[in-house]
Structure 1
């Protein structure tokens, strides 16, 4: 078979196509991601600059508001309107005014440095000082390119109406910086010429550019602010020459909000209040950092994925085609056929595998014929007492399709007589034939009976009825007639002699093994006494030197009490006492040993942690120890009943506490998440870590209400509260209480309250 066969090529081509399709989709997704990431980055940058602009405008508006506050200040008005002489000044008024303006700089960093010039007194008034000679102020604070006389004439000697001087070099107490100056003459209606007072606010460049640090610090870019005439107001991260170059470049569109210029994204925003222009430049590599990461990761992962995919596709093609090629070889070898030119390998396999399936169905039908063996195994385990609980018996019965048609009945044994020596093939064959005849005759009798073999000469049969009353009243008579007819029939036709023996009736499927043991004892008695006909266990009561308390019965009693099933425990105890009182004559010593064994069973039970931690531990233990063998069986049975009820009560109390906690946990979870429309039984079960069916049944048992009804009521209670107000519409309320559809909410509300949501709201309003 060639290594690269047609099957291999078909597989490899399919895998390559599978790789190409998601790769194309991945590339489209990648391009979309890059575009979206770039758009988001640009949008975030524009938003950042917009916020900085808004803050700066708000601060400048506060500066303007500050000058307007001064315009209406009574103390300042008095000072402006006073006529000053050369020797007299209103010192108190000036001091009071200094104190009034002292706090303005604490609320706005743009007002850290300002002064008020009073023309009549020729005094410069600052928040901390008053300069009665302006030249003294000028010595500490002055512009680099403006002399004192120019400063006095252009700034102090003119009228200014919200005038802003662009960025200018400035000396602040021997420290060189650049400032923007805001000037306003007082009163506000001052016109050309000198005015009584001038307010001058000096704003440091660092204060303005600090508002743009969100862009420059985050992206490492630059920021530039100009007024309507193109004069620089603020500058950071870029030189004036570079700004001039950008402004003079004709390829740069000044009207666009965002555009790439050289290696920067330049964002331009114009203020609608004062026509200032805000520009920010962000390096392209920083702006597209996330996009580049996506790009690098995408190409790396895609490349590796394609390489690995091709390698895996090659290996899978070889691995998946190899079995088919081998299968083809086997098929050709076994069936002596070859692939025709017009047929492909799959058609060849289809034809031959179809034939194999047909043969398999024949085999399956043959296996169905073996089902009686499974049922026979179930019956053997049942009579042997290998099942530990009723639930286990029911599960096994369903699996083997071997139902008993009832929970009460009799177990009996039919033994073929006359074969004492069974060591030859001929005898075993005869016994096998005899058993088959007996089974067929029992089946022909018309009774509902289950049968299985034990040994080569015995058949165990089981009659089951719906309840114990039917078993006692009708069952025994019906069984006697059936066995008499079967015995006579096989003897008349086949000369087969049989002995029948039955145990006492069982009233639960867990007691089938006990009835079987009794049937064996009855059979031994019949064989020993050579009794003909049917032998019942109740007719074989003899004096016994031993008591009846087998290990499997003790284990069943312990497991039943540990499960808290008091009724089943009482039934097992009653069975033990009946076996030892009705069918055995116990001596005092045997009774003493039996009572000791039973007491030991209950003392072993007390070693369980649940009982040892209980307050009743010591009292129950003492009651067990105090039981005496000298007492009657009726008294002993009563005492043990009380002890079992106490133990089962403790078990059920523990279970109820656990159930209550689980239900409360469910209620709390529903209370917190009722508004979630995706809240389901599965999510509730996941929250409390229990199966869905379990919590549904548990909630119903503890509260008496279905879990779904409780959830619906919680939702309707909250809806009723919201309907009493007018904050939400009915559709909004439906969404807030966990309904995707307002129609479903309206139906549920009417089902719970009896009226529609609208009618409920109207009744509240009325």
Structure 2
């Protein structure tokens, strides 16, 4: 039943994963259809646009050519000899024969410069002659041998030619007998004279092949056609796939140019047309839609094939991806539900919502934590600076850890603390003075932020005092002092340029580590007493003051450090500090006996504070110390005894720590030995059970055992698994679950990584070695 329930859950996950892939494929299919539809419109527009451009080119060429013919007609009609010859009625008498020859010689062969013009003739009414640049015909002979029409006799042609005034008009188009051979021709006529007084005509012959060649770039297959209409609706020239002429009329065109969709009126043809504004001629192309959109058929087939292939491949990939991606998600859900439900693996109804809510909760908690850290950062830094100056730190590692947490790196070769005092002293701090000091302190801090390389090393220590931490990167104390002096001058100049205020500085001695900075701070505080407040901008260096030997040296920060070191069990630090105090008070200073005794009592007082805070017994030992001092009057010997007592307390504290550590590591190992089979076992769960932080847990376990906790747990599980593999016939999946792995595959990878052989191979080898049989299972 459990296996069936698991399979049903996995199947549900599989369906949840498959649905997005199927939707994506449907969306892709929709995009394919949309692409096809858009491509259809683009190709249709491109083809019709190409036809329109081709028609525009034909129209432009025709307009240019007929414009040239019009210029020829204008030149000939205005020619003086042509105008003079129009009045000649008897051309073959001796007087007029010369005019015939001269007029003919004056004619230019325009066909040589304009291949659009096949030939032209000047036909005169009065003389009944037809002249060209290279021939002269009587009119009747001209009609019979040069130019005639099968549907028109000579008299009809003559009557029409001289009876109708034509101004740059087409007289006839179609089959013509030219030089006694049938040929498609355009007869272009320009009458000579006036509308009611026609003296003749200029007849220009245009070969229809030139027009057909202009239309040759249009696809007229499958019943398509292209033709040119003059301004009177007559067919000037046509081109079709079968060589015929269209037998229908689409009527007047609605615009100068455009497209008429296929319909019964157009015999199911798509019609593209344009009209010349020069002579009113229309240029028309009609094509079957499948010819116009022939490219779309190929695109349609290609698109359909691609979509089908994509559909098949998409379904296969969707199945593979859904199967593959569902497994880790199921594991994630199982892990989350087990952790949230206290080990009970119940899959939520809305898995994605569950994961999303978990992530939102994690992100919100992280943001809240980050905001809290950001808000606390200035406070933490102020606390760090205060502890550094007071000497509350016991080890350099502790200082470095806090600096790393704050994102600050300090790698100086030397350090010194200065105090900026901006209150003249001599009177108390009433409400008005405190308010004034608050304003001055804010303004001074602003100036320090603009002056110091890192303003975080300025720390307010009182209403009228600011401590400044200086760092030496050169390792030369002289250069370090010069650097501090330059900084002080910059600070004074910057502050006093904004508002007038008296500033005073005291600088402590140089120290080689941050742990000793508190000594420089105490020296800077002592140097404040040497400031003359009547002198503005005074800088007092502790090293410049005369050391008096009439007082012992045991500042408050040294006492705090001694107490803290002793309580922490830092034997070496206590030894070093007590030794430095011994050298300062018993060797460097020539203290009188009374002052040495007073110093010893301060040491004893510190020892009593340590015993009280640690709740140690030792009142009798204290009495013996005091009695030893009274009996011998040798404070140095008594100081040595006190030093031994301090070191003895450190040893006791260290033994306590080690005893606690032994118990803690035993408890951790016992807990791991007992619960290693839980798959949720981790560093976090062990730390929660032991009520200690995760970071301390990791570091402590590594120090005590030599390996981290995850490595120890995996080794422990592998040892248990090897025993089960060697001594039982349980399935590997069951063994994996028993030793704390979610799946057999994870267990096998871990086993191969740790042992170098697979779990199956290890079992086979172990069974051979011990003579294992199936009955042992």
TM tier, shorter chain?
Answer: 0.3 to 0.5
Normalising by structure 1, we get a TM-score of: 0.45
Normalising by structure 2, we get a TM-score of: 0.44
